[in-house]
A and B are shown apart, each in its own frame.
Chain A
């Protein structure tokens, strides 16, 4: 029946490719323009928050925590309003996760304080005694990579028209100006709320530990 096709590797391969590509065309293309529109009032991440997002990715919080509240009563009771597509318009990549070994974090900024986050990352058992989460003490020592985060902001502004202000410009000088005038004050505010003296001292010296950036990002999730 199909013997002739099996003797023509080229036609065979073309046939296979068409058959497998078909589903992707139908499912993915139609929705592309529509789904990425931001909800009203959504602002892009600040550079400090982007740096925090990098920490979230680096220490792979996504392995245990989701950022997607499904439209069930049990979930909205537990975590808050269910998630909408437009809330993720500036998420590159998306961080929904696929497994909840710990709770969902999509609206964690609504019900946890910077101080709670700091204690939680230093020693999870101090705030949740039965927690099986490892401690992330190294985040208090490692310095956040704001330059890469800034590079990301510049890139998405240029390539995807993400609405950043004029303070986001390419080049080393623009970054240093932004760092001093915008990122440091933002970090200082978080560090004060964390109530950790060493972290505060670091930020006052002009260095931002990973934990400060991470909390800036988590605070933004609401």
Chain B
């Protein structure tokens, strides 16, 4: 066994996930810009016949970005950071390393089949859980493998207490496992019909209102355990590491962790306000959504205060810029969400473009920024090379920030306009607008959104280039940097 002082970490699996994050990021966000443009310019629907309509591409966009880009980024951060906080290398166990490769291979197979099946229109139709049952089974296997690797590493650890990031990785593992299993309970029809029809077809275990309940219990909490919890794991490791500052408050991190765990899952009901689910559940969803501000802001403030006395780093280091702005976007998004979950606001906001607007200030400003920053922090350690270009990173930051701002401001205006027009009545109490009037009025906002998305995508290409050049052409480093990542 190696002594912990001279520990060489094995990044083989981390590297693989880094590259898939780059590739799926480009693919998913390119489709995103295309579908945003299709809403402004419908002629773009006919680029690839049946397979190029907005409706077919929309789940492809969400799935590739969530399961391709984000989940790759999360796994990349896990395989990089978890061994470091546990003080154990993946390479120390042949078994765990092998399982890591297996997990990555199966992940790639699942992602490929997911893309093909969605393009073909094979779907279980539940949002963010569209995979049919054979893919669901494969995903469960991938997840279990991840669990084995995580707890295997924990079992081998040299650091006695689990660092905060590990709490969040464990929670991600458990939360997604529970939600995914229950939401994807399906009955494959092939076993009951005497072999009729497509073998991969299934029927949901739940019907109507119950199905909606389970789906949004999943849908909302998938946001929790894919977009929030693991990303907090990332910021708790990478911000202190990059800035050389200790986490501001241990008590605050405890409070916000257990608070988030307890409160988050109650809030799913806010997706079903004014629907046919029972009133008490709607109220519960509404109230807990507001309470959720506390643990969310707890983590964000804890991160911002970590920079106390060191704010000058913000002007000097683009990675700190990404992480601090990400924390700020997290605060914005977790304030906006509860506002939308208030019943009277929801009556206007629901079904409108304000909702995709809200999601995107979270995912573009918080999730993706943190993934970019974590990968760039890791790159010099993993490839043992200096970051290729600091000025490119700076430019990426400003272009993408402009993109996010255009995106969410246009969608706020679009959503509220739409919601108000739907309910507007004249002095005699008649509806003032037909539905199509509300579609036409959104054209300028859809155009602005597409431009915002395009700016963000340009930033992704800059990132990909910078990352590729760092890995291949960056100046070689003699020894691993302690804190701040060196950049040319």
| A residues adjacent to B (C-beta < 8 A) | 1-3, 6-7, 9, 12-13, 16-17, 19-24, 27-28, 31-32, 35-36, 57-64, 66, 68, 70-75, 77-78, 83-85, 87-103, 128, 130-136, 138, 145, 147-152, 154-156, 158-160, 170-172, 175
Contact digits for B28-69, partner A, Cβ 8 Å, 1 yes 0 no: 000000000011001001100110011110110000000000
Please tell me if B9 contacts chain A, counting CB pairs below 8 Å. Answer: no
B134 within 8 A of A: no
B451 at the interface (CB under 8 A from A): no
Cα–Cα distance between A101 and B414 once the two chains are bound (Å): 11
Given contacts A31-B213, A78-B435, A138-B50, contact A93 B126 (CB under 8 A): yes
A-B contact pairs, 5 of them (CB 8 A): A20-B264, A27-B268, A75-B422, A78-B422, A149-B197
A94 touches B190 (CB 8 A): no
Q: Which of B311-319, B324-332, B349-357 contacts A (4 or more CB under 8 A)?
A: B349-357
Contact in complex: A147, B127 (CB < 8 Å): no
A89: chain B residues within 8 A (beta carbon) = 207-208
Residues of chain A within 8 A of B264, CB atoms compared = 20, 23
| CB of A55 to closest CB in B, whole Å | 9
- B199-243 CB contact bits vs A (8 Å, 1 = yes)? 001011111111111110100000000000000000000000000
A61 contacts across to B, CB distance below 8 A: 55
> Roughly how many angstroms separate A72 CA and B261 CA in the complex, as a whole number?
35
Given contacts A100-B352, A159-B192, 13 further A-B contacts (CB under 8 A): A9-B170, A16-B174, A17-B174, A17-B178, A21-B265, A58-B121, A93-B204, A98-B127, A131-B436, A134-B42, A170-B196, A171-B194, A172-B194
Of A64, A78, A155, A158, which contacts B54 at CB under 8 A? Answer: A64
Q: Is there contact, CB below 8 Å, between A20 and B194?
A: no
Task: From known contacts A60-B56, A70-B347, A151-B201, infer whether A91 and B439 are also in contact, taking CB-CB under 8 Å.
Answer: no
The residue that B171 contacts in the complex, of A20, A23, A72, A99, with Cβ under 8 A, is A20
The smallest beta-carbon distance between A111 and chain B, in angstroms, is: 12
Contact A91 B211 (CB under 8 A): yes
- The answer to whether residues A151 and B197 also contact, given A13-B174, A74-B431, A94-B208 and a CB cut-off of 8 A, is yes
Q: Which of B124, B126, B439 contacts A132 (CB 8 A)?
A: B439
Shortest distance from the beta carbon of A41 to any chain B beta carbon, whole Å: 16
B275 touching A130, Cβ below 8 Å? no
| Distance, CA A204 to CA B207, complexed state (A) | 35
- In the complex, B262 has a CB within 8 A of chain A: yes
> Cα distance A134–B34 when bound, in Å?
14
Q: Which residues from chain A contact B54 at a C-beta distance below 8 Å?
A: 63-64, 134
> Are B422 and A74 in touch, CB under 8 angstroms?
yes
List of B residues within 8 angstroms of A99 by Cβ: 351-353, 355-356
List, in ascending order, chain B residues with CB within 8 A of A31's CB.
209-210, 213, 277-278, 281
Which of A20, A64, A135 lies at the interface centre, i.e. has the most chain B CB atoms within 10 A of its CB?
A20
Residues of chain B at interface, number, CB under 8 A: 93
* CB neighbours of B127 from chain A (8 A): 62, 98
CA separation between A23 and B224, bound complex, in Å? 14
Q: Which residue of A lies closest to B352 (CB)?
A: A100
Query: In the complex the two chains form, is B347's CB within 8 Å of A60's CB?
Result: no
Task: Knowing A36-B208, A72-B347, A150-B197, say if A23 contacts B39 (CB, 8 Å).
Answer: no
How far is it, in angstroms, between the C-alpha of A40 and the C-alpha of B410 when the chains are bound? 45
Q: Cα distance A28–B432 when bound, in Å?
A: 39
B175 interfacial contact with A, CB 8 Å: yes
* B374 interface contact, C-beta 8 A: no
Closest to A9 in B: B154
State the CA gap A88–B207 with chains docked (Å).
7
B167 and A95: CB pair below 8 A? no
CA distance A101 to B38 in the complex (A): 12
List chain A residues, Cβ under 8 A from B266. 23, 27
In chain B, positions 149-167 with a C-beta closer than 8 Å to chain A are: 151, 154, 160-162, 167
List chain A residues, Cβ under 8 A from B46: 134
Those of B271-287 within 8 Å (CB) of chain A: 271, 274-278, 281, 284
- Taking the closest CB of chain A, its distance from the CB of B74, in whole angstroms, is 17
Assess A154 versus B265: contact at CB under 8 Å? Given A32-B210, A72-B347, A94-B215. no
Task: Give the one of A9, A158, A170 with max B CB within 10 A.
Answer: A9
- Given the complex of chains A and B, what is the CA–CA distance between A100 and B351 in angstroms? 5
Q: Which residue of B lies closest to A66 (CB)?
A: B351
Closest to A61 in B: B55
Task: List B contacts of A92 (CB < 8 A).
Answer: 203-207, 211
Assuming the contacts A145-B197, A148-B197, asked whether A27 and B269 have C-beta atoms less than 8 A apart, the reply is yes
- Asked if residues A84 and B276 are in contact (CB atoms below 8 Å), the reply is yes
Known: A88-B276, A96-B275, A145-B198. A151 touches B170 (CB 8 A): no
> How far in angstroms is the closest Cβ of chain A from B185?
11
Cβ contacts under 8 Å, B39 to chain A: 101, 132
User: Are B55 and A63 in touch, CB under 8 angstroms?
Assistant: yes
* A27-B281, A99-B356, A134-B55 known; A159+B208 contact, CB < 8 A: no
Chain B residue numbers with a CB within 8 Å of A156 are 203
Contact partner of B193 among A101, A136, A154, CB < 8 A? A154
CB of B425 within 8 Å of the partner chain: yes
Decide: A16 and B170 in contact? CB cutoff 8 A.
Answer: yes
Complex CA–CA separation, A171 to B192 (angstroms): 9
Give the docked Cα–Cα distance between A148 and B122 (Å): 12
Q: Does B409 contact A (CB under 8 A)?
A: no
A57 and chain B: residue at smallest CB distance: B125
Q: Which residues of B contact A20 (CB under 8 A)?
A: 171, 174-175, 178, 261-262, 264-265
Is the Cβ of A148 less than 8 Å from the Cβ of B435?
A: no
* Cβ B161 vs Cβ A6 within 8 A: yes
Minimal Cβ-Cβ distance residue in A for B263 = A23
**Can you list the 3 inter-chain pairs with the closest CB atoms, starting with the nearest?**
A88-B208, A148-B197, A151-B193
Q: A93 with B215: in contact, given A133-B42, A134-B55 (CB under 8 Å)?
A: yes
CB pair B121–A94 under 8 Å, yes or no, is no
State the Cβ distance, A113 to closest chain B Cβ, in Å: 18
Complex CA gap A72/B425 in Å reads: 12
Q: Which of A21, A22, A152 has the most CB of B within 10 A?
A: A152
- Asked if B254 is at the interface (CB within 8 A of a chain A CB), the reply is yes
Question: CB-CB < 8 A to A7: which residues of B?
Answer: 160-162
